Amino acid sequence: MATGIDYGMGLTNIDKKTGIRYGVIHQNEVLQAWCDSSEPNYGSVIEPGDFDEPIGFILDDGEYQATSDDYGDIFVIRSPYYAKCQFCSPCAPGAGYLINSGDVKAYCFGHDWFEGGVAPYKVYSVATGEEVPA
């Protein structure tokens, strides 16, 4: 039985091919790696000379796909790794909040995204289901 309530009723914030939920983590947990890897998302084409603020940041490097909102929350929507956590609801229906352990599988960042090289959660390989050591 999953910890927490899935306010998305199983239909939102989930990779329908794998059944793995999108993981949510605050940018402060991975700030340096996020700043080094993500790019601004302006939500539309910006013409030269425009100085609009980004609406968030995005990452799509072939290994990870993630996006952040203006509250500083990062949604990990594709990754070679997952963590077992609690539902994030009602803030992000159906997604998993990576910092709180539980039994909901949600995409996550690997150990190398964290200072000291150790994630604050157990990291599992999507390909094998085995725990990935720090």
pLDDT, tens digit only, all 134 positions of the chain = 455 555 555 578 999 999 999 999 999 999 999 999 999 887 776 666 666 778 889 999 999 999 998 788 999 999 999 999 999 877 888 999 999 999 999 999 999 999 999 999 999 999 999 999 99
| pTM for the structure as a whole | 0.87
H-state helical runs in the chain: 31-37
- CA distance readout (Å), 21 to 12, 32, 60, 64, 125: 8, 24, 17, 14, 14
Question: What is the number of domains present in the chain?
Answer: 1
Q: Is residue 99 part of a domain?
A: yes
Residue 134 in domain: no
65: containing domain? 1-41+54-126
Look at residue 46 in the predicted model and tell me its pLDDT: 62
Burial class (CB in 10 A: 0-12, 13-18, 19+), 49: exposed
Give a yes or no: residue 103 inside a domain: yes
pLDDT score, position 15: 94
Tell me if 16 is assigned to some domain. yes
Amino acid letter for position 97: Y
3-state SS assignment for residue 77: strand
In a domain? residue 91 = yes
Taking the C-alpha atoms of residue 1 and residue 116, their distance in angstroms, rounded to an integer, is 33
Whether residue 133 lies inside any domain: the answer is: no
Q: Residue 46: inside a domain, yes or no?
A: no
Residue 3, pLDDT score? 56
pLDDT score of 1: 41
Supply 47's token pair: 């013409």
What phi-psi label fits residue 118: left (phi over 0), alpha (psi between -120 and 50 degrees) or beta? beta
Does residue 18 lie within any of the structural domains?
yes
